[in-house]
Structure 1
């Protein structure tokens, strides 16, 4: 083998996975067909759950120190959810994708892991021992596992012939990073009477300290083929159609056309090949969910691949990547499609849609509705199906960040191992049998006992008789 894991695609998903494997102590090679890192941001928001995961690896504070990354307000279909702003320890923030990619690539380089660029994949074959990848340059890389993180038009997925069911794009809108005059810092979704609409949210500042915005424009007659270049005149006309003269384009940094395609791979695992990020699911970029979903794919898969390489993974462990992440992404596709309908993304001007949105906006004033939507959009409401979810409210959810005295519980996850919180000191003997994979902590702390996976999800709590079965289920047989 040339490496244990080959990662194809150096976007946020691939870079996050490379770091997870580094934490797990697993050699990996990260390749990308681009000769240099892209300067385009396809995403611009980081959910609460993603921030918690970065914090668990010690990456969040350095990432936020890279610039001005303002806290945002959650929204659903352009309707703000103000009651949710302070619900989570880490509120939603604007961090452009290019900033995240640059930060992660530099972090990996400091650990001796460099992206191999200008590597265009042309073929893959797999056998019982590994995967052979061939490249346009004539190079060959042999690995135990291969992960496709190469985007919505994934070469790996195409070579696999993997099913990618769903809906093709039926219309396009403009997405652009711009400087505007006359707009405020808040996220807005504004619609004119004739169906033209614009969404604006802050992206922080450019290198000169000037505020940047992510702008989306749509409406009647504005759906053009993806290959048609976006011009400044087109954006200016779209702004006037929605805002009149009060908002003007000062500078266009970049622009592209996006479609409303909604597809999801039928299977995330194909033997020794796994699909992650946009290679596994594509949808409209509403609510900053696409990039975050891909990063969460990487966090879920990384420690499981590490366990397989180190030889202690239970037989079913790699299959849980699909059973956990496929439903999570399917839920994202559903809520994005609902949002695009309520927003009248295609600019139909249908009065029935307007009536439905008015009713929905009235319901969203209710606190419990805002909280439900916030859990959905922040990633904090994801509950993985696992043994114990039927009678333990914590199991399957992200672990709470607890004060354990000298450290907080999330800091213990920086070692890339499981954590057993044992406040009463009852489980020393059983924990000792898994001490190479699970760190026991929390003695004397004011918390209930729980077992936390390396990706930060609770996989056992409460009943002492269920602890050893849970350890075997997630961490394999003891040595």
Structure 2
């Protein structure tokens, strides 16, 4: 073997997967076909769930310290979903969730790549994959220059036009794009203090999001725009005049384009692979699912794919993965991807991308705007758009509001709960100190914490390395959950 795991694609998904694998002690090679990182921001925001995962790995504070990354509220179909106030109490003993932060994808990629380099892993660029084969023991990847790499497993994180997916001939059902819109990185004047989303009476619309500042301290913004007559083929170049016309259609002369940095046309295509696992190959991120980039759910979803997969591959390589653990990656993330595609397609309809001004669509949007004002609807959609609504099935356990979901943070005295997950191992919270004997056969894979000096009271709880709660209950029900997620107990010498 050249390596235990080969990761193809050095975007946020591939970089996150590589970091998770290194944390699990797995030899990893990360390749990308491009000679260097993209300079286009693409996604512009990191949702609550991804912020929590980065915090659980000790990466969030260094990331946010590296620039201007303001907090912001999310939206559903352009209808604002303000976050709860920072001082709002969390559920029970838990801290309030973190609000969405503005972090352009290009900044996130640079940060993650530098973090990996600090651990001795550098991206191998100019690696264009041209052939793929697998047998009972490994995957063999061949590149355009004749280089060959052999690995036990391969993670395909090579984007919406995935070469790996094509070589696998993987089913990719869904809908082709019917409408294009513009996404651009720009500098604007006259856009300060404006709401994020704007729509003219004749159907033209824009979305303006902060991207921090450029190298000279000037504010950058992500601009999305569309409307009647603005759905052009993807290969038609985007000009400054086209941007200016779109701004005038919505704002008149109030908002002016100062600089067009980058721009591209995106479509409303919505597809998802039928299977996330193909033998020793695992599809993640845009290689597994493509949709409109609303709320940066593509980038965030891809990173969350990687957090889900990384520790499971680590368990398989290190020999303690229970039966079905690798298959649970498809089970859990395919359902999550399906849910995201559904909400994005609903948003695309309500936003009226093409500016058709269809009376039925406008009536539906008006009604939906009223419904979002209801507290329960607002809460649910806020959870969906923040990524905290994800719940994985947890067999062998009884019902509990936290079970299967991402564990919120809590002050446990000397440390926060999320800090306990920085080792990449499972965590058992044992506030009564009654579970040491039950955990002992899994102590090489799960950390037990029973010191909560001055901290908030919490229930006994088992947390997977990806931060999802997989057991809350009595000592008698703990062993089946340990076996399901952390394999057979080790035997004492």
Q: Give the corresponding residue for 2:32.
A: 32
Residues 16-35 of structure 1: per-residue CA shift (max 9 Å, x gap): 00000111110100000001
For the residues of structure 2 that align with 1:303 and 1:51, how far apart are their CA atoms? 18
Q: Which residue of 2 aligns with 1:135?
A: 143
Tell me which residue corresponds to 2:12. Answer: 12
Quick check: 202-211 or 295-304, which moved more? 202-211
Are residues 1:211 and 2:219 paired? yes
SS in 1 for 2:230: coil
Q: Tell me, yes or no, if the aligned pair for 1:226 and 1:258 is still in contact at 8 Å.
A: yes
Q: 2:474 aligns to what?
A: 463
Does residue 452 of the first structure (1) align with residue 463 of the second (2)? yes
Give the match's secondary structure for 1:152: coil
Q: Is the 8 A contact 2:83 2:99 kept in 1?
A: no
Distance (Å, rounded) in 2 between the aligned partners of 1:33 and 1:113? 17
- Give the 3-state SS of the residue equivalent to 1:91 in structure 2: coil
Distance of 1:393 and 1:464 partners within structure 2: 19
Q: Shift of residue 158 of structure 1?
A: 0.2
RMSD over aligned Cα atoms: 1.2
Residue in 1 that maps onto 2:180? 172
Unaligned runs of 5+ in 2: 89-95
What SS is found at the alignment partner of 2:294? coil
Inter-partner Cα distance in structure 2 for 1:385 and 1:60? 28
Greater mean alpha carbon deviation, residues 306-315 or residues 348-357: 348-357
2:202 to 190, 194, 198: 194
Distance 1:155 1:291 in 2: 18
Q: 1:278 to 1:298 in 2, by over 3 A?
A: same
Once the two structures are superposed, what CA deviation does each residue of 1:321-345 show, in whole Å capped at 9, x if it has no partner?
A: 0110011111111111111111101
> Which of 322, 331, 343 is residue 323 of structure 1 equivalent to?
331
Give the Cα–Cα distance (whole angstroms) in 2 for the partners of residues 218 and 110 of structure 1: 42
How many residues align? The count is 479
In 2: Cα distance, 1:267 partner to 1:186 partner: 43
- Matched position secondary structure for 1:229: coil
Match of 1:3 in 2: 3
Say if 2:157 is the partner of 1:149: yes
- 1:48 maps to 48
Detail structure 1 runs of 4+ shifted over 6 Å in the superposition.
Answer: none
Q: What does residue range 42-191 of structure 1 map to in structure 2 within 5 Å?
A: 42-82=42-82, 84=84, 86=86, 88-185=96-193, 187-191=195-199
Following superposition, the deviation at residue 191 of structure 1 comes to 1.3
What displacement does 1:189 show?
Answer: 1.5
Distance 1:189 1:442 in 2: 48
Structure 2 length normalisation: TM-score?
0.95
CA gap 1:21/1:350 in 2 versus in 1, 3 angstroms: same
Q: Any stretches of 5+ residues in structure 1 without a counterpart?
A: none
Residues 260-293 of structure 1: per-residue CA shift (max 9 Å, x gap): 0000000000000000000000000111211000
Partner of 1:266: 274
- Map of 2:92 onto structure 1: none
On the 8 A contact 1:203/1:213 being kept in 2, the answer is yes
Counterpart in the other structure of 2:91: none
Q: Tell me, yes or no, if the aligned pair for 2:182 and 2:266 is still in contact at 8 Å.
A: yes
1:473 partnered with 2:473: no
Cα distance per residue 1:324-374 (max 9 Å; x no partner): 001111111111111111110111111221111111111111222111100
Contact 2:226–2:353 (CA under 8 A) maintained in structure 1 = yes
Distance 1:312 1:76 in 2: 42
Asked whether 1:278 is paired with 2:278, we answer no
Structure 2: distance between partners of 1:5 and 1:83: 39
Shift, 1:407, TM fit: 1.4
Moved more, 335-344 or 380-389: 380-389
- How many Å apart are 1:408 and its aligned residue? 1.5
User: Partners in 2 of 1:187 and 1:216 — Cα distance?
Assistant: 14
User: Normalising by the residue count of structure 1, what TM-score does the alignment of the two structures yield?
Assistant: 0.98
Secondary structure, counterpart of 1:164 in structure 2: coil
Please tell me whether the aligned partners of residues 187 and 221 of structure 2 are also in contact (alpha carbons under 8 angstroms): yes
Structure 1 residue 23 and structure 2 residue 23: aligned? yes
**What is the aligned partner in structure 1 of residue 359 from structure 2?**
351
Q: Which residue is 2:316 aligned to?
A: 308
Alpha-carbon distance in structure 2 between the residues aligned to 1:83 and 1:36: 36
CA shift digits 1:415-441 (9 cap, x unpaired): 110000011111111211111100000
Contact 2:227 2:355 in 1 (8 A): yes
- How is 1:324-343 mapped onto 2 (pairs within 5 angstroms)? 324-343=332-351
Give the Cα separation in 1 of the matches to 2:82 and 2:436: 45
